[in-house]
Amino acid sequence: MKRQSLSRTILAITICASISSGAQSQTWVCDVEASVGFDSSRGYLGLNFSTNKTYTIRNNINAEELTQELQRNHSVFNSSVDWFSPASLQQRGNNAVVLCTRLTHQGFSGGEVTRITCENTGYYGDKFEFNINTGRFSHVFTGFELLSEGQSWVEVGECRRTM
Protein backbone atom coordinates (compact mmCIF):
# COMPACT_ATOMS: atom_id res chain seq x y z
CA MET A 1 0.00 0.00 0.00
CA LYS A 2 2.81 2.40 0.86
CA ARG A 3 4.55 1.63 -2.45
CA GLN A 4 1.36 2.38 -4.36
CA SER A 5 0.99 5.68 -2.53
CA LEU A 6 4.63 6.55 -3.17
CA SER A 7 4.24 5.67 -6.87
CA ARG A 8 1.16 7.92 -7.15
CA THR A 9 2.98 10.76 -5.44
CA ILE A 10 5.95 10.46 -7.79
CA LEU A 11 3.63 10.32 -10.80
CA ALA A 12 1.75 13.43 -9.60
CA ILE A 13 5.01 15.33 -9.08
CA THR A 14 6.24 14.32 -12.54
CA ILE A 15 2.98 15.47 -14.17
CA CYS A 16 3.04 18.80 -12.29
CA ALA A 17 6.66 19.38 -13.24
CA SER A 18 5.98 18.75 -16.92
CA ILE A 19 2.91 21.00 -16.87
CA SER A 20 4.76 23.86 -15.16
CA SER A 21 7.76 23.58 -17.48
CA GLY A 22 5.40 23.76 -20.44
CA ALA A 23 3.70 26.80 -18.93
CA GLN A 24 7.06 28.55 -18.69
CA SER A 25 7.58 28.31 -22.43
CA GLN A 26 5.74 31.30 -23.85
CA THR A 27 5.44 32.96 -27.24
CA TRP A 28 3.96 36.34 -28.15
CA VAL A 29 3.27 37.95 -31.52
CA CYS A 30 3.63 41.74 -31.47
CA ASP A 31 2.19 44.09 -34.10
CA VAL A 32 3.42 47.66 -34.63
CA GLU A 33 0.46 50.04 -34.36
CA ALA A 34 2.21 53.41 -34.69
CA SER A 35 5.66 54.66 -35.62
CA VAL A 36 7.51 57.92 -36.03
CA GLY A 37 11.03 58.68 -37.20
CA PHE A 38 13.46 61.52 -37.82
CA ASP A 39 16.35 61.99 -40.23
CA SER A 40 19.13 64.41 -39.23
CA SER A 41 20.31 64.87 -42.83
CA ARG A 42 16.94 66.45 -43.60
CA GLY A 43 16.96 68.87 -40.67
CA TYR A 44 15.18 66.42 -38.39
CA LEU A 45 12.23 66.15 -40.68
CA GLY A 46 9.89 63.27 -40.06
CA LEU A 47 10.30 59.97 -41.83
CA ASN A 48 7.43 58.07 -43.30
CA PHE A 49 7.73 54.33 -43.02
CA SER A 50 5.50 51.31 -42.76
CA THR A 51 3.95 50.26 -39.48
CA ASN A 52 3.20 46.91 -41.05
CA LYS A 53 5.76 45.04 -38.93
CA THR A 54 5.33 42.02 -36.71
CA TYR A 55 7.75 40.63 -34.12
CA THR A 56 7.82 37.28 -32.35
CA ILE A 57 9.04 37.02 -28.75
CA ARG A 58 9.86 33.67 -27.17
CA ASN A 59 10.61 33.03 -23.50
CA ASN A 60 12.90 30.32 -22.06
CA ILE A 61 14.97 29.85 -25.19
CA ASN A 62 18.13 27.81 -25.69
CA ALA A 63 21.37 29.63 -26.54
CA GLU A 64 21.61 27.75 -29.85
CA GLU A 65 18.48 29.54 -31.12
CA LEU A 66 20.33 32.88 -31.29
CA THR A 67 21.96 34.24 -34.44
CA GLN A 68 24.96 35.93 -32.84
CA GLU A 69 27.56 33.63 -31.31
CA LEU A 70 28.55 36.29 -28.76
CA GLN A 71 25.02 36.41 -27.30
CA ARG A 72 25.04 32.65 -26.71
CA ASN A 73 27.50 33.11 -23.83
CA HIS A 74 25.34 35.60 -21.89
CA SER A 75 25.07 35.02 -18.12
CA VAL A 76 21.26 34.73 -18.33
CA PHE A 77 21.72 31.17 -19.62
CA ASN A 78 23.34 30.25 -16.29
CA SER A 79 20.61 31.82 -14.15
CA SER A 80 18.96 29.51 -11.65
CA VAL A 81 16.23 31.95 -10.56
CA ASP A 82 12.78 31.90 -12.11
CA TRP A 83 12.42 35.71 -12.25
CA PHE A 84 15.32 36.13 -14.73
CA SER A 85 15.36 34.07 -17.91
CA PRO A 86 16.50 34.21 -21.55
CA ALA A 87 14.09 35.25 -24.29
CA SER A 88 14.40 36.10 -27.98
CA LEU A 89 13.12 38.62 -30.52
CA GLN A 90 12.67 38.08 -34.25
CA GLN A 91 11.03 40.31 -36.84
CA ARG A 92 8.76 38.48 -39.23
CA GLY A 93 10.54 38.05 -42.55
CA ASN A 94 14.02 38.40 -41.00
CA ASN A 95 16.13 35.38 -40.04
CA ALA A 96 18.01 37.15 -37.22
CA VAL A 97 17.08 35.95 -33.71
CA VAL A 98 18.42 38.21 -30.94
CA LEU A 99 18.80 37.83 -27.18
CA CYS A 100 16.39 39.40 -24.72
CA THR A 101 15.91 38.93 -20.99
CA ARG A 102 12.72 38.35 -19.04
CA LEU A 103 12.73 40.02 -15.64
CA THR A 104 10.02 39.99 -12.99
CA HIS A 105 10.10 42.53 -10.14
CA GLN A 106 7.84 44.37 -7.72
CA GLY A 107 6.21 47.44 -9.26
CA PHE A 108 5.71 50.79 -7.54
CA SER A 109 2.10 49.95 -6.70
CA GLY A 110 3.19 46.70 -5.06
CA GLY A 111 2.12 44.37 -7.85
CA GLU A 112 4.45 42.13 -9.79
CA VAL A 113 5.69 43.47 -13.15
CA THR A 114 7.23 41.29 -15.86
CA ARG A 115 9.14 42.74 -18.78
CA ILE A 116 11.06 41.32 -21.69
CA THR A 117 13.82 43.67 -22.76
CA CYS A 118 16.18 43.47 -25.74
CA GLU A 119 19.02 46.01 -25.81
CA ASN A 120 21.56 46.89 -28.52
CA THR A 121 20.37 44.08 -30.75
CA GLY A 122 22.36 45.14 -33.79
CA TYR A 123 19.60 43.90 -36.06
CA TYR A 124 16.55 45.56 -34.58
CA GLY A 125 17.59 48.86 -33.00
CA ASP A 126 18.67 49.98 -29.55
CA LYS A 127 15.91 48.83 -27.24
CA PHE A 128 12.77 46.71 -27.47
CA GLU A 129 10.75 46.54 -24.26
CA PHE A 130 7.61 44.47 -23.80
CA ASN A 131 5.49 44.75 -20.65
CA ILE A 132 3.79 41.38 -20.25
CA ASN A 133 1.29 42.80 -17.75
CA THR A 134 -0.11 45.37 -20.22
CA GLY A 135 0.65 43.58 -23.48
CA ARG A 136 2.26 46.74 -24.91
CA PHE A 137 5.72 47.25 -26.34
CA SER A 138 7.96 50.09 -27.43
CA HIS A 139 10.90 49.84 -29.76
CA VAL A 140 13.47 52.57 -30.36
CA PHE A 141 16.52 53.31 -32.45
CA THR A 142 18.47 56.46 -31.59
CA GLY A 143 20.86 57.55 -34.28
CA PHE A 144 19.90 61.17 -35.06
CA GLU A 145 22.31 62.57 -32.47
CA LEU A 146 25.34 61.09 -34.25
CA LEU A 147 27.96 63.48 -35.63
CA SER A 148 27.34 62.12 -39.09
CA GLU A 149 23.92 61.83 -40.66
CA GLY A 150 21.59 59.44 -38.90
CA GLN A 151 18.03 58.36 -38.34
CA SER A 152 15.97 57.68 -35.25
CA TRP A 153 12.62 56.03 -34.84
CA VAL A 154 10.11 54.77 -32.31
CA GLU A 155 7.55 52.02 -32.78
CA VAL A 156 4.78 51.12 -30.37
CA GLY A 157 2.26 48.32 -30.45
CA GLU A 158 0.60 45.44 -28.69
CA CYS A 159 1.45 41.76 -28.23
CA ARG A 160 -0.78 38.73 -27.91
CA ARG A 161 0.17 35.39 -26.45
CA THR A 162 0.15 32.35 -28.69
CA MET A 163 0.50 28.67 -27.93
Write down the pLDDT at residue 62.
Answer: 95
pLDDT per position in the chain (163 positions), as tens? 555 554 444 434 444 433 333 345 699 999 999 988 887 776 666 776 777 899 999 999 999 999 999 899 999 999 999 899 999 999 999 999 999 999 998 877 778 899 999 998 778 889 999 999 999 999 998 876 666 677 788 999 999 999 6
| Residue 138 zone, left/alpha/beta (φ > 0; ψ -120 to 50; rest) | beta
How many Cβ atoms from other residues are within 10 Å of residue 109's Cβ?
Answer: 6
Amino acid (1-letter code) at residue 92: R
Can you tell me whether residue 91 is helix, strand or coil?
strand
Write down the pLDDT at residue 9.
Answer: 42
Write down the pLDDT at residue 146.
Answer: 62
> DSSP readout, 93-150?
T----EEEEEEEEE-TTSSEEEEEEEES-SSS-SEEEEETTTTEEEEEE--TTSSS--
Write down the pLDDT at residue 144.
Answer: 63
Spell out the domain ranges in the chain.
26-162
How do strand 45-47 and strand 112-119 relate by DSSP bridges?
unpaired
How many Cβ atoms from other residues are within 10 Å of residue 129's Cβ?
Answer: 15
Write down the pLDDT at residue 152.
Answer: 84
Write down the pLDDT at residue 123.
Answer: 80
Write down the pLDDT at residue 75.
Answer: 92
Q: Kindly state the helix (H) or strand (E) to which residue 156 belongs, with its residue range.
A: strand 151-162
Write down the pLDDT at residue 143.
Answer: 72
